Chain A
Amino acid sequence: MSFFQPWALFALASLPILVWIHTFLQQRRRLIVTGLFLWDERRQVPTAGRIRRRPPISWPLLLQLLAASLLSLTVALPRLTGESSVLEWYVVLDRSLSMSAGDPSPRDRAASWLEEAAAQAGARVHLIGSGERPVSLGVAESSGDLGDLLADWRPELLGSSLEAATFLALDLAGKSGEVLVLTDSLEEPITGVRWGAFGEPRDNIAWIAAARWPEPSGGTQDIVRLEVRSFAAEERSVTLHLDGEEPLRKQAITLAPDASYCWTLKAPALIGDLLARLEGDAVAFDSRLDLLSVREPPVRVRLESDLTGDGRSAVERALDALTDWRLARPGERPDLSITRNVVAGDARMIWHLGPLGSGLASGEGKTLAGPFIVRAEEPLTREVSFEGIVWPSVRELRGPIRPIVDVGTRVLLAESLEADVPTLLLNGDLGQSTFPDTVGWPMLVSNVLDRARQERPGLEPRHVLPGEPVTVRATSGSSVELVDPEGRTVQLPGSPPQVLPPMSRSGVHEVRQGGETLGRFAIHAVDAKESDLRSCESGWIEPEASTPAVRSATVDVQDPTALLIALAALAWLGSIVAARREVAS
């Protein structure tokens, strides 16, 4: 037997209270006798101190205890266990963002209805969240369980598909279960599915796109681009705001139905986070967007002393052509150490430029002129061409490596697999090579800087749509925590770097490691389809085919409430009769 409302079993606490009441009444039911010794063979102990009393077991008490127990069980809504006797509901919960529109939202109304209906029906409820990949939110055996599980129903997805979840529910329900879909609009009926819509048509104006990026060519401004659209039935006015710590810009606009407006503006890069908001729109979920600062600190580069001659000149020339880097100050941990053979222990990344020493390479040096084999999809060689380049003094690399560019027998560019920090090896004598004279060289240096930037702890990208991946780069060691917009902290499993599990809660999320912030990212719940609430409605579509016979066939068997109430009433009546009989005697 299971209980749909097990909290009601707390009513069983009334049993000791009943015993206590009887004991109390019994104590009051004193009978003065003139020869107590005639009532017992043994003499009684005078009433000094406390007397241990046996519970007053009597028929009225026993019957009242029985009645109280039965009533408690009745309120607890017991269900007989066994597959054939339990009403099973497979409920698809729409997780699309539009379910959160308004207060109360369609999600709130649907959840309330489900809790009440399940309690009345005494059903076991299987919750399935909608989406491209439906998720099980759990099985509720009791109303308490259901409440807890429904707390995890957060409509955050964009364009969440109900179809996959509905067919999954149909598969799971088989012939014995009932499938319900709780959403905010009525759609084409599906055989065997009870469709409940809890939506409400609303006018809405929403952000449908947002972006912030640094001004090109090293400017000090960020460019912000926002797009707003009206999903109202009539022309509507709204005020656009862009705020930093203080209000930055605002603009009042009037939008015709389905009209859009692009708001492009510049903001100082150092202003930090921005908030784009709409004033004059009642639906909140798509009216606020966080635009985080997108500026990364420059890559700290250290040119080691063993890098001399033409090779050093080539590196310095390429760096001069690039931005977002600076030389590491003394005592500062460099993000990238460029060297010939020095193993810089404190650098986050090392780039060895040839000619490499015997610790890194061996054998006679060969001059290579291609053709070079470049690994596909390799970020380091992105937009770098090696054609027509002559590489002298290319030796054989030592140790386990991951070749990136090679000629088959000799490797030109590789990544060491045995170093503690990411280590790149550029084989050959760079000073004698023709490569620094090509456009590919500064591109390679730029790619290496990008790689060094990526090796720093942090995360990317900064702005994502619900469900889009976010990659966290963290040092190994202490665990990584994710703080969601409500301030709740979740410890992330696995070791860094890692891709965060798909998230959909809009707002600013923060990733921490060892108490320090690794980075922040904002999820933008912007989607034209979700923001269009004009087609939302409420109502029910009953299944065409009659849903499972389980309801009519087994409801009497699985719901012993009436029987329990009858037994409890009988027990109580019995206790009254017994008590009267006792009094009469």
Chain B
Amino acid sequence: MDRTSVSRELARFRLAPPTRLPHGQVGELRTRGLGSSSEFHELREYRLGDDIRRIDWRSSMRTDRWMLRLYREEIEPRLDVIVDASLSMGAFAVKASRLRELVALLKGLATRDGFRARARRFADGGPDDAEGDFDLDGRLDLAEGLRRAPVSGAGRPWRIVLSDFLFETDPRQLVTSLASGGSRLSLLQILTARELRPDLHGFYRLVDAESGTEKMTAIGPQEIRRYRERLQRWNAELADVARAHGAQYLLLEADRPLGELARDVLLPAGILVPAGACR
């Protein structure tokens, strides 16, 4: 992991602020909506359904109407970074490095920008915190990991999922489970150039990184073409499902530097915003 790159990108970008208000949240971010923080904003007449605990009795006595004390809401948005820590993510050094850099960047930005951030590594033993150079040694793919330990919807977090999504599963089920209870879902698919555009010729004993399943095969141009078609279809299906769930799907080529990915992919996608932009 290139920590210098992470530091540089931390200085250049901010995490995009949440666009939908979470319910009953407290935090450092001040939103345009009203909330229950201690900072007084204005009074207005009571409406059916308002919290009677916020009735300003003094004003009500003075105006003879039920007046409600309104406060500027202070929220603490949550970012839940879900990291696919299976062996396939560690199969290629560049892929593992980029994954760790992205996790560090997102966590760093989130912490700095007032998010309650958590990066969880989904591996065989259940989710745990993805800290620093966390291990990528899971034999279970992310779908299986999520089945065993479903994500929590507490706090309606923004979920950013980092994975290669190269495992056989039903994308609808996967996206549905990831979107459950969250306020925003971003699927960041990290693939290397070798995975996107393999350049192989000859006989190989292909070994699946996670399952250990083997396949003896001759690889030539035809096999390469078929592989790329299947990958394209797979990714397109994943993107369609994500779109249907209001989620983002982004493909990150791990071979590109972190800065390029941030500038060319994450920034246009609204995950990051320039550091100088107004809140």
Contacts and interface: CB of A to CB of B under 8 A. Distances in A.
Given A38-B166, A40-B215, A31 B201 contact: no
A38 to B, nearest CB: 5
B214 A44 contact: yes
Contact of A29 (B205, B208, B223): B205
A554 interface: no
A39 B195 CA distance: 11
Nearest to B217: A39
A33 B207 contact: yes
A28 B162 CA distance: 32
Interface stretch (B25-33, B150-158, B226-234): B226-234
A33 B205 contact: no
Interface string B214-248: 11111000010001001100100000000000000
A33 B205 CA distance: 10
Nearest to A53: B216
A45 B215 CA distance: 8
Q: How would you classify the secondary structure of chain A's contact residues: helix, strand, loop or mixed?
A: loop
A43 B214 CA distance: 10
Interface residues of B, number: 33
Given A58-B203, A585-B202, A34 B216 contact: no
A359 interface: no
Given A36-B215, A44-B213, A27 B168 contact: no
B204 interface: yes
A54 interface: yes
A233 to B, nearest CB: 77
Given A46-B212, A46-B213, A585-B200, A32 B227 contact: no
Interface in A14-67: 26-27, 29-40, 43-47, 51, 53-54, 56, 58
Given A27-B205, A29-B204, A585-B199, A34 B214 contact: no
Interface string B158-195: 00000010111000000000000000000000000001
Contact of B214 (A51, A56, A58): A51
A582 interface: yes
B164 A31 contact: no
Contact of B164 (A27, A34, A40, A47): A34
B195 A34 contact: yes
B204 A34 contact: no
A89 B214 CA distance: 61
Interface string A245-288: 00000000000000000000000000000000000000000000
B86 to A, nearest CB: 9
Given A43-B168, A54-B216, A36 B200 contact: no
A36 B206 contact: yes
Given A34-B195, A39-B223, A47 B200 contact: no
B208 to A, nearest CB: 4
Given A39-B227, A46-B211, A31 B204 contact: yes
A43 B211 CA distance: 12
Interface string B46-61: 0000000000000000
A34 B88 contact: yes
Nearest to B210: A34
A256 B261 CA distance: 115
Given A39-B227, A53-B216, A26 B205 contact: yes
B223 to A, nearest CB: 7
Select the residue from B88, B91, B166, B202 with max chain A CB neighbours within 10 A. Answer: B202
B217 A26 contact: no
Contacts of A34: 88, 91-92, 164, 166, 195, 208-210
Select the residue from B168, B216, B218 with max chain A CB neighbours within 10 A. Answer: B216
A47 B88 contact: no
B213 A32 contact: no
A26 to B, nearest CB: 5
A29 B207 CA distance: 10
Interface of B: 88, 91-92, 164, 166-168, 195, 199-218, 223, 227, 230-231, 234
Interface of A: 26-27, 29-40, 43-47, 51, 53-54, 56, 58, 581-582, 585
5 residue pairs, one from A and one from B, having the closest CB atoms:
A585-B201, A35-B166, A34-B88, A36-B208, A582-B202
14 contacts: A26-B203, A33-B91, A34-B88, A34-B164, A34-B166, A35-B164, A35-B167, A35-B234, A36-B213, A39-B223, A43-B213, A46-B212, A47-B213, A58-B203
